[in-house]
Amino acid sequence: MESFDGTITTSYASDDDDDDLESVTTYSSTVPDYAELGLVDPFDVNEPAMTAANSSKNDSSGFQSTPLLIEDRILNTNATCPGIGYGTGGEGRSTLDELYRAFMVAINAGFRSFDSAPFYQDGAVERILGRAINDSSVPRSEFFITTKVWPTFARVPEESLKLSLKNMNLDYVDCLLLHWPIPLVPVEGDPYALGDTWDSGWDFKMTWNEMQKIPKDKARAIGVCNFTINRLRLLLSSSTTTIVPAVLQVEGHPELPQKPLMRFCKEHNIQPFCFSPLAQGQVMNPTILRIARKHGIDSGQVAISWAVIRGTVPLPKSVNPNRISGNINLVELDEDDLAQLDTLSEVPRRIVNPRALFGHDIFENNADSYETTTYKSEDAHVSRAMPRKRRQFAVGST
Average model confidence (pLDDT) across the chain: 80
Query: Which pLDDT does position 381 carry in this prediction?
Result: 38
Helix (H) or strand (E) holding 272: strand 271-275
Q: What is the mean pLDDT of residues 203-214?
A: 97
Query: Which pLDDT does position 27 carry in this prediction?
Result: 54
Lowest mean pLDDT among 17-26, 199-208, 218-227, 331-340: 17-26
From the list 86, 68, 143, 71, the residue with the least C-alpha distance to 315 is 86
Query: Which pLDDT does position 311 carry in this prediction?
Result: 97
Q: Is residue 154 part of a domain?
A: yes
Q: Is residue 371 part of a domain?
A: no
Q: What is the mean pLDDT of residues 267-286?
A: 88
Query: Which pLDDT does position 225 carry in this prediction?
Result: 97
Query: Which pLDDT does position 259 carry in this prediction?
Result: 93
Q: Is residue 259 part of a domain?
A: yes
Q: Is residue 9 part of a domain?
A: no
Query: Which pLDDT does position 38 carry in this prediction?
Result: 35
- Print the domain residue range for 212: 32-348
Higher model confidence: residue 196 or residue 319?
A: 319
Number of domains in the chain: 1
Return the sign of the alpha-carbon dihedral for residues 237, 243, 244, 248. negative
Whether residue 86 lies in the annotated active site: no
User: Among residues 100, 120, 172, 370, which one is catalytic?
Assistant: 120
Q: Is residue 238 part of a domain?
A: yes
Best mean pLDDT range from 95-99, 362-366, 377-381? 95-99
- CATH of residue 305: 3.20.20.100
Q: Residues 6 or more apart from 69 whose CB is under 8 A from it?
A: none
Share of the chain above pLDDT 70, in %: 72
Phi-psi region of 40 (alpha: psi -120 to 50; beta: other; left: phi over 0): beta
Q: At what angle do helices 96-109 and 124-135 cross, to 10 degrees?
A: 40
**CA gap 122, 144 in Å, rounded:** 22
Q: Is residue 380 part of a domain?
A: no
Helix (H) or strand (E) holding 134: helix 124-135
Do 374 and 284 form a contact (C-beta atoms < 8 A)?
A: no
pTM of the model: 0.82
pLDDT band at 195 (very low <50, low <70, confident <90, very high): low
Q: Is residue 26 part of a domain?
A: no
Do 327 and 97 form a contact (C-beta atoms < 8 A)?
A: no
Q: Is residue 355 part of a domain?
A: no
Query: Which pLDDT does position 26 carry in this prediction?
Result: 55
